[in-house]
Amino acid sequence: MANKLAAASIRPTRQRVRIGQILWQSEHRHVTAEKVYMDCQEAGERVSLATVYNTLHQFRSAGLLREVPVNGNCVYCTNITPHHHFYNTETGELYDIPQDQMHLSQLPAPPSGMTVSGVDVVVRVKPNGGAA
Amino acid sequence: MANKLAAASIRPTRQRVRIGQILWQSEHRHVTAEKVYMDCQEAGERVSLATVYNTLHQFRSAGLLREVPVNGNCVYCTNITPHHHFYNTETGELYDIPQDQMHLSQLPAPPSGMTVSGVDVVVRVKPNGGAA
DNA sequence: TTCACTGCAAATGATTTGCAAAGCA
DNA sequence: TGCTTTGCAAATCATTTGCAGTGAA
């Protein structure tokens, strides 16, 4: 983990290493600052919320995390490979859509003077059993 | 305008009618509550910010407005026809992408028990002259 | 040792809410 | 007239920031 951070030019402090371990300990995850903070608490790690926010921002700036464009709170995705999301509008949960399961063709030309820096596709879904 | 609101089962109060006029007075627009509030002020209309927020929510619930999935503040789009957006990551501005200029194929099946209720595509762009 | 990082708590900004007064059907 | 809506300001919620103490190189 320290190497991973160092490779991204981020000084591997204890807090950052721990947060990194929590983020990438298992499968890809979708987290909020609050969630990471709680995970730290549970892991017995003493980290302040402010530091969690700072760290997530740094990780994102360094390209270690992706921010998912969903209204409301900041949600970060630990999967930085190209992919998209299903967004459960009832619960706010996110599920990955592997890139190869979605095809985007005919990307239009951006406004003049602009360069495309990324594309986010959010497929809104809702439980069909829930509301009649 | 009163008819439009009535058709959506929204009681056409003076404030709502005025807000509606401001929203749909011209071309399609992308607005925040704050923006609408300022427009009201300029138009000499006495409406409180809270009412603007409430009204925008109602209009959205009624399907008269679309919410654009961009992190940060709530942005509403007066164009409710299917379309997508360019998102200027430097300024936060949005530009419509007509539906026919973007093709989405192979929409993957949603998680079991879920129904797709909509798809949002946000193409992030940035000025290419800006930062070297 | 030095400068970056962290923690705390207060500050901020956007949005919501409670309650009394006013408006629409 | 009765019930909905509005307005104001205070309350919330998520996130950021200032500053003094702590830690990494």
- State which of B17-21, B103-107, B109-113 shows the largest mean pLDDT: B17-21
- When CB atoms are compared, the residue of B117, B121, B126 closest to A125 is B117
Residues B64 and B33 both lie in one domain: yes
| Percentage of chain A exceeding pLDDT 70 | 97
| CA distance, residue A63 to nearest chain B CA (Å) | 16
Kindly report which amino acid residue has its CA closest to the C1' atom of nucleotide D8: B48
Looking at A61, A77, A93, the residue that finishes a domain is A77
Bases of chain D within 7 A of a CB of the protein = 4-9, 14-18, 23-25
Long-range pairs for A71-77: beta carbons < 8 A, 24 or more residues apart: A71/B67, A71/B69, A71/B70, A71/B71, A71/B74, A73/A32, A73/A34, A74/A32, A74/A33, A74/B71, A75/A30, A75/A31, A75/A32, A76/A30, A76/A31, A76/A32, A77/A28, A77/A29, A77/A30
**Residue B70 falls inside a structural domain:** yes
**Residue A131 falls inside a structural domain:** no
Residues A65 and A96 both lie in one domain: no
Q: Quote the pTM value.
A: 0.89
**Residue A15 falls inside a structural domain:** yes
Residues B17 and B65 both lie in one domain: yes
CA distance A16 to A56: 9
Q: Average of pLDDT values for B118-122?
A: 92
Residue-level pLDDT at A132: 44
The enclosing domain of B37 has a CATH number of 1.10.10.10
For B56-95, what is each residue's pLDDT tens digit? 999 999 999 999 988 888 999 999 999 999 999 888 899 9
**Residue B29 falls inside a structural domain:** yes
**Residue A66 falls inside a structural domain:** yes
Q: How far is the CA of B14 from the C1' of D1 (A)?
A: 21
- Mean pLDDT, chain A, whole residue set: 91
Task: Confirm whether any atom of chain D, the nucleic acid strand, is less than 7 Å from CB of B72.
Answer: no
**Residue B130 falls inside a structural domain:** no
The tally of domains found in chain B comes to 2
DSSP SS3 for B75: strand
Q: How far is the CA of B12 from the C1' of D1 (A)?
A: 20
Residues B91 and B32 both lie in one domain: no
Residues A66 and A94 both lie in one domain: no
Residues A22 and A69 both lie in one domain: yes
Domain residues for the domain of A113 are 83-125
Taking CB atoms and an 8 Å limit, are B121 and A104 in contact across chains?
yes
- When CB atoms are compared, the residue of A71, A117, A125 closest to B125 is A117
Residues B25 and B68 both lie in one domain: yes
Residues A68 and A11 both lie in one domain: yes
Residues B43 and B88 both lie in one domain: no
Residues A71 and A8 both lie in one domain: yes
- Yes or no: say if B36 and B22 are a contact pair by the CB < 8 Å rule: yes
**Residue A132 falls inside a structural domain:** no
For A32-70, what is each residue's pLDDT tens digit? 999 999 999 999 999 999 999 999 999 999 999 999 988
For B28-63, what is each residue's pLDDT tens digit? 899 999 999 999 999 999 999 999 999 999 999 999
Which residue reads 């995705």 in tokens?
A77
Q: Average of pLDDT values for B100-116?
A: 87
**Residue B132 falls inside a structural domain:** no
Taking CB atoms and an 8 Å limit, are A123 and B119 in contact across chains?
yes
Residues B34 and B51 both lie in one domain: yes
**What residues form DSSP beta bridges with A30?**
A77
Residues A48 and A70 both lie in one domain: yes
